[in-house]
Amino acid sequence: MHPHTRGRSKGVVVRALLGNAAGCAVVEVATGEKWAMEPVAPEGLFEVFIPKRPKVFRYQLRTQTHTGELRQFSDPYAFLPTLGPQDLYLFNEGNEHRAYDKLGAHLRTLDGVPGVAFAVWAPAARQVSLVGNFNHWDGRYHPMRPLGSSGVWELFVPGLEEGQLYKYAIRDTHDHVRLKTDPYGTYFEGPPNNASIVYDTAKFKWNDAAWLEQRRAQAGRLDRPISIYEVHLGSWRRKPEDAGRPLSYREIAPLLTAYVREMGFTHVEFMPLAEHPFTGSWGYQVTGFFAPTHRYGTPEEFAWLIDQLHQAGIGVILDWVPAHFPRDSFALAEFDGTHLYEHADPRLGAHMDWGTLIFNYGRNEVRCFLAANALAWLERYHIDGLRVDAVASMLYLDYSRKEGQWIPNRHGGRENLEAIEFLKQVNGLVHHYHPGAVMIAEESTSFPGVSKPTAEGGLGFDFKWNMGWMHDTLKYFAREPIHRKWHHSDLTFGMLYQYAENFVTVFSHDEVVHGKGSMLFKMGAWHIPEKAANLRALYAHMWAYPGKKLLFMGGEFAQSHEWKHDGSLDWHLCEYPDHEGVRLLVRDLNRLYTSEPVLSANDLNPQGFRWISCQDAGAGVIAYLRSDPFENTFFVTIAHLSGATRAYRIGVPRRGLWHEVINTNSQYYGGTGAGNDGGREAEAVPYDSYEQSIAVTLPPLTTVIFKWSGS
């Protein structure tokens, strides 16, 4: 409805495009007065001029189909825009932190009329139309309105409900129309159609208030127990009686919760669960950044999974992928006919390793999209932290590029200044809006200050994966014991930089794919029992060593083959001692780690670690001390990684009984049982710069952990 003048008569004109309508009328809501509309085009275009009504008024349309069916409804174009100038200003400025509540599809009630408000950013489009199963996917029926120079197109469609499928038909400057899914969509149908689905993400009733309060109380306390179980949800466990299909969010929730609680992990980290069209990408090529994948259920069922874990006292970390996105034609790539979300120059915008596109972090609206995406996962689904994927590829303009394939920054350097500022921004926003949530970087270089606060010149992450320790340690353990003495520094070098960052010590999914072998088969031995002994020794060393912990699923019970995303873990292996023993050890290591502040509350404290012996390469022994700042509690870890049994002496800082709390050679864990009879009394024999020492038995390929029990 628009004010209109015909001849000398002032009034209003109403036009409507209606499919399958034999007739149409305008009905004033307040009075019920009705004006018949005239058909002006055979496609269903109707018009009426109403004289002597100089101002627009609330109205509805009443149609009659060719079969005589009557319907009265509100006109989408009778409503004012649902976004105001302030919303648009902040979005274009890059500071609309709740852009996920403004753009996308949202159930709204305007002037008492329920419906769905749609908004999409497409600044270079000539026209944007909303299409869906409610208008036969015909772009003529719901053209959207451009909101000034903001680049945002908007439309409220009354009468639409949750569950409607939709896309945007975007006409570019060359009159080419491309169908695009909603960048801010909250739910999607599966391939090949991949349509966005209207969904109310706020309807779930949460029961985790106690957990969230505890999380807030821990804000800023980085030195707390964090032991993470990394999970690919689709292959953790499957349903063999139903063609081996993956478990749904609801099916997996009680099983995973009970298992993680039994194993003593403090957190679950899910590999990406944002919508992705190709299962084989493991979730790292995202097309629906705001939507839990449809593969395992609805967004409400995803929330139920998180709620169950929280009620059991288990935190949830989600892999988040702001480094790149795929080239799928229905998603972000060339969204409005231009390189909107990505760089136009392939030297900046094309990812060399994965064939994907790199976000343009210098564009305000793109930064707004990504920052809002991070916040949306924490706000809508109570996620406790994000593990940011491929941070190194974001930090460096020459990442995986040869000379001539990249463009230096404005200072002539290789750092991606815009990406660095974005990472600082998003880390700051997460900590501001969600105190206690953690941000973890997968960063494989020596970029300085990744886990330092932004106020100190850092990137603002809480933690960083310790890729160097992982690489060196696995390289050492992959060698046969007889050759290890020549590579002893692989075990000790990591301590030189251990406290340069807040590290998470990791064995992630990346270590058990692409021909690298499983954790068990990485071990340098010929027979399964020896490989299992190596793995047990490695895990005990890992849990005793400073740093938070992360282990990929299957590694905890010594999965034999490499991880397969389209199959289940081999849970039947737990029937065998070599595998079940590793699982029991990991469970006990978690219990020790989480119950002893010396191990868990001093991960980041350099005063809490001291080498006792780090030079005995011939014996294949390293020994180190973990203590609290007041030196009231002590743990001594001795890793013996050669193939012979040794009688060994180790210096200790206190006299009295040193209780053997972990022996990876215990029969309980699948070993031979040889050890130290539960403990050793310190003797007044000076050794390793201490005035007293203990004489211990070191079985082959064994790590033992002693705790000082006093005099």
Which pLDDT belongs to residue 526? 85
**Span(s) in the chain for CATH 3.20.20.80:** 230-436
pLDDT over 70 percentage in the chain: 100
Q: What is the rounded distance in angstroms from the CA atom of residue 50 to the CA atom of residue 4? A: 9
**CATH no. for 85-197:** 2.60.40.10
Within a 10 A sphere around the Cβ of 241, how many other Cβ atoms?
Answer: 7
Q: Which of 442, 490, 511, 660 is catalytic?
A: 442
Closest by Cα among 367, 358, 341, 423 to 393: 358
Whether 84 shows a pLDDT value over 80: the answer reads yes
Whether 50 shows a pLDDT value over 80: the answer reads yes
The model's confidence at residue 582, banded by pLDDT at 50, 70 and 90, is very high
Whether 142 shows a pLDDT value over 80: the answer reads yes
3-state helix, strand, coil in the chain (%, to 5): 30, 30, 45
The model's confidence at residue 630, banded by pLDDT at 50, 70 and 90, is confident
**Span(s) in the chain for CATH 2.60.40.10:** 2-73, 85-197
Cα dihedral 54/56/57/60 (nearest 10): 120
Question: Element (H or E) spanning 472, and its range?
Answer: helix 467-477
- Model confidence pLDDT, tens digit, residues 216-233: 999 989 999 999 999 999
Average pLDDT of the residues of the chain: 96
**CATH no. for 230-436:** 3.20.20.80
**Span(s) in the chain for CATH 2.60.40.1180:** 607-708
The model's confidence at residue 372, banded by pLDDT at 50, 70 and 90, is very high
CATH 3.30.1360.200 fits 2-73, yes or no: no
pLDDT over 90 percentage in the chain: 94
Whether 322 shows a pLDDT value over 80: the answer reads yes
Q: Which of 208, 319, 389, 603 is catalytic?
A: 389
Question: Taking residues 247-253, what's their average pLDDT?
Answer: 97
Is 603 catalytic? The answer is no
Which pLDDT belongs to residue 8? 85
The model's confidence at residue 357, banded by pLDDT at 50, 70 and 90, is very high
Whether 492 shows a pLDDT value over 90: the answer reads yes
Which pLDDT belongs to residue 525? 86
Which pLDDT belongs to residue 7? 86
The model's confidence at residue 64, banded by pLDDT at 50, 70 and 90, is very high
- Model confidence pLDDT, tens digit, residues 408-459: 999 999 999 999 999 999 999 999 999 999 999 999 999 999 999 999 999 9
3-state secondary structure of 426: helix
- 607-708: CATH topology is Immunoglobulin-like (2.60.40)
Question: Taking residues 460-465, what's their average pLDDT?
Answer: 98
Q: What is the rounded distance in angstroms from the CA atom of residue 697 to the CA atom of residue 708? A: 17
Is 556 catalytic? The answer is no
**Residue 303 burial (10 A CB sphere; 0-12, 13-18, 19+):** buried
- Model confidence pLDDT, tens digit, residues 166-186: 999 999 999 999 999 999 999
Under 8 Å CB-to-CB from 699, ≥6 apart: which residues? 640, 645, 665, 671, 672, 674, 675
| First-residue to last-residue Cα distance in the chain | 90
Under 8 Å CB-to-CB from 492, ≥6 apart: which residues? 611, 614, 622
Question: Taking residues 189-203, what's their average pLDDT?
Answer: 96
Which pLDDT belongs to residue 711? 64
125 neighbors 92 (Cβ within 8 angstroms): no
Whether 341 shows a pLDDT value over 80: the answer reads yes
Backbone angles phi, psi at 657, to 5 degrees: -85, 130
| Displacement of CA 466 from its chain's centroid (Å) | 18
Question: Taking residues 200-208, what's their average pLDDT?
Answer: 97
Which pLDDT belongs to residue 54? 81
